[in-house]
Amino acid sequence: MRSFGTRIRRTALAGMLALAAGATVGSAATSAGAAVGGCSVSYALTTQWSTGFTASVTITNLGDPLTAWELGWSYAAGQQVTSGWNATISQSGAQVTARNQTWNGGVATGATVNFGFNGSWSGSNPAPTTFTLNDALCTGSVDPTTSPPTTAPTTTPTTAPPGAGLPRSFTWHSSAVLIGPKSDATHNIRAVKDPSVVYHNGRWHVFATTTNQSGSYSMVYLSFTDWSQAAAAQHHYLDTTAIGTGYKAAPHVFYFAPQGRWYLVFQTGDNAAFSTTTDISNPQSWSAPQRFYAGGMPQIVRDNIGSGYWVDFWVICDSSKCFLFSSDDNGHLYRSETTVASFPNGMTNTVIAMQDAARYPLWEAANVYKVSGSTEFLLIVEAIGTGGTRYFRSWTAPAITGPWTALADTQANPFAGATNVTFDGTAWSRDISHGEMLRSGTDQTMAVSPCDIRYLYQGKDPSATDSYSLLPWRLGLLTQSNSTC
């Protein structure tokens, strides 16, 4: 028997394009404290190659609250699980068992829990068709032999209409400043900004841009187990690594599952660059930067950038392609693409994914996410509004390539901005600027839960009037206060 539970992710992708899907549901799930049971299981391949695959599994609890769970299934074609996250997965012959981690055993009525794994296959890779939860067969309804729960549970659909799970307007509560400058003998830091964040192996890993007292840019890495520890975390400056000195900014980190490597994507002023590692916790392990675009700035960007800047590179992949988004501070959002098999090479077919006649409503800091439990994608873009205040607009689409439909996209009804963010006491920032959501996984699919969204952002003292590279940016965390889940 083999057990896989070392690479933990804080919830994996759910509801991705089902290259193979067997979604049956269960009755009489009997865990500690559970009197009435029932469950829904969604099994989906997120990527597949000639000898292997990555799968995502979502369990929806239709019965009484669970305090522990154990999901079982069997493979019909000899598939083997090789590694997993968010669950301890063991396999004996064809039978596979996935058990909860210590932190995700509790599942409320109507709530979901997600985990994922890599596997190997040959010949064929059919999806399992039968699942058991805590030794009870999944059938799609609450156990008819026992009393139904007081509140009828709802299942998480594998497909959903645009914006499923997302409200038409958002409200948020902000933390105090969590991460600020931390200078050392060779780094006289003025600002920390542009954060990217993942949760892996029980720790939050944050990458960010720094500016020093001269306005020069670099990047920093820190990690901690709880957000209450963020302020005390050690800052590791990445210009001391193979990433090197010189202008580096706006990091975006993710785990590229098909290669088993971490990627750090960032801007260098004239190109999109990336470094890789197999150990995200070791800042010295990052490779020297490589460029995405061998020929430099694509012609379509040259033709439209005007007096803007080519900034803020963001990668997201579906089952067959990887896409690289970027902005130009001139009202254009660009998208390039390559195949999953070719990534990171071959970025081409650059197009304008979205544009605005005015530059400030479609400024920069674009994020694209897969909304777990649906077929929808969420796009947010930073805008500059009245008085120079920064806020985020949002859209949804059925595919990474669009078409994009407005969600909350005005300064009066923003995705996140001064009008819908509250603080304890006096607001320490009126700007809700460049950041990243706390994702439900770490991989290239950029999955986020539509429930209780959290967003790590950069803000600043409202009275600051410095030039942009000297503005005193700090990092805080938004928590959604009007979740529909």
Question: What are the DSSP calls for 336-384, one per residue?
Answer: EEEETTTTTS--EEEEEEEE-SSSGGG-EEEEEEEETTSS-EEEEEEEE
Give me the percent of the chain exceeding a pLDDT of 90.
68
Contact 134, 97 (CB under 8 A): no
- Tell me what pLDDT residue 355 has: 97
CA dihedral 84, 88, 93, 96 (to 10 degrees): -90
Q: Does residue 152 surpass a pLDDT of 90?
A: no
Higher pLDDT, 484 or 326: 326
What pLDDT, in 10s, does the model give residues 48-100? 888 888 889 988 888 878 889 899 888 888 899 999 889 999 998 888 999 99
Contact 338, 331 (CB under 8 A): no
pTM for the whole structure: 0.69
- Tell me what pLDDT residue 482 has: 92
Label residue 139 by pLDDT band (50, 70, 90). low
Closest CA to 456 of 343, 367, 335, 375: 367
Higher pLDDT, 427 or 37: 427
Q: Does residue 213 surpass a pLDDT of 50?
A: yes
Higher pLDDT, 326 or 165: 326
Of 144-153, 260-269, 336-345, minimum mean pLDDT range: 144-153
- Tell me what pLDDT residue 4 has: 46
225 Cβ neighbours under 8 A, 6+ residues apart: 202, 203, 204
Q: Does residue 106 surpass a pLDDT of 50?
A: yes
Label residue 46 by pLDDT band (50, 70, 90). confident
Closest CA to 127 of 275, 20, 284, 252: 20
Average pLDDT score over residue span 129-134: 82
What pLDDT, in 10s, does the model give residues 19-39? 333 333 333 333 333 224 578
Q: Does residue 389 surpass a pLDDT of 60?
A: yes
Closest CA to 82 of 260, 263, 310: 260
Q: Does residue 116 surpass a pLDDT of 50?
A: yes
- Tell me what pLDDT residue 153 has: 29
Cα separation of 55 and 339, whole Å? 19
Question: Average pLDDT over the chain, rounded to whole?
Answer: 87
What pLDDT, in 10s, does the model give residues 275-319? 999 999 999 999 999 999 999 999 999 999 999 999 999 999 999
Cα separation of 442 and 31, whole Å? 29
Cα separation of 270 and 326, whole Å? 12
Label residue 140 by pLDDT band (50, 70, 90). low
Of 135-149, 369-383, 388-402, 444-458, minimum mean pLDDT range: 135-149
With 0-12 CB in 10 A as exposed, 13-18 as middle and 19+ as buried, what is 36?
buried
- Tell me what pLDDT residue 129 has: 75
54 Cβ neighbours under 8 A, 6+ residues apart: 45, 46, 47, 48, 116, 117, 118, 119, 257, 258, 443
Average pLDDT score over residue span 216-241: 97
- Tell me what pLDDT residue 160 has: 33
What pLDDT, in 10s, does the model give residues 175-193? 999 999 999 999 999 999 9
- Tell me what pLDDT residue 92 has: 81
Cα separation of 290 and 274, whole Å? 5
- Tell me what pLDDT residue 60 has: 87
Average pLDDT score over residue span 375-396: 97
- CA-to-CA separations, 262 to 46, 244, 436, in angstroms, rounded: 17, 18, 17
Paired sense of beta strands 87-92 and 2-4, if any: antiparallel
Closest CA to 70 of 110, 7, 26, 36: 26
- Tell me what pLDDT residue 483 has: 87
- Tell me what pLDDT residue 8 has: 31
Closest CA to 64 of 87, 30, 40: 30
Average pLDDT score over residue span 381-396: 97
Paired sense of beta strands 321-327 and 311-317, if any: antiparallel
Cα separation of 381 and 435, whole Å? 10
372 Cβ neighbours under 8 A, 6+ residues apart: 11, 13, 14, 15, 58, 112, 114, 440, 447, 448, 449, 450
Say how many Å lie between the first and final Cα of the chain, rounded: 38
With 0-12 CB in 10 A as exposed, 13-18 as middle and 19+ as buried, what is 341?
middle
Q: Does residue 321 surpass a pLDDT of 70?
A: yes
Higher pLDDT, 43 or 195: 195
What pLDDT, in 10s, does the model give residues 260-276? 999 999 999 999 999 99
